[in-house]
Structure 1
Amino acid sequence: MKQPENQLRFVELFRQALGMVSGQAGLISTHAHRSFDGWRCINFGHWRSLEEYTAMDSNRPFSPVFGEMLELADNEYQKTLHEVVFAT
């Protein structure tokens, strides 16, 4: 976050964005985490396939709130794709 006091607003916007994505084909789950000090938020989503994720990402239903999220963040938005190799 640019300022730790922005974290709660960021989390609120993330909830709104998730509401816009929740009906998308292929979304299994998403997890949002926030640091205790207010400086960071981390999200990871679990998608059934790369194709379904790519379809959502190419036409982001959450675009209306995404701009404000980026304004609150300190250039932290990083989109990386990973494969689950094991879970406990």
Structure 2
Amino acid sequence: MDKKSGNKEEKAKELIARLNRLSSWPLPTSFILIIGVGYFFTFYDISDIGFAMPAIDQQFHLGSSLSLFHCAFSRAHRICNRFLCSWYHI
């Protein structure tokens, strides 16, 4: 067995053992509700924009490529912001 792969296996076993020693969710139960509500509104926003985009295209005389660019850019913007905010603990 390679020294690096053995080290990775030991680290993985140690991590699993540490996770198994956790007795329960360390945060209050209300946090699960708050996280669930956040996911609900995020996915509601995504589906709402998806259903409304054809009407928005007609009303503002946008092309489908421009509206597609807007949707893709806003999703990429959210992903980057969430990553940066979690990375820098803002």
Instruction: Decide: shared fold, TM above 0.5.
Output: no
Give the number of the structure whose residues are more often strand, by fraction.
Answer: 1
Give the number of the structure whose residues are more often helix, by fraction.
Answer: 2
Q: Normalising to structure 1: TM-score of the pair?
A: 0.30
> Bigger radius of gyration, 1 or 2?
2
Larger RCO, structure (CA 8 Å, separation 6 or more):
1
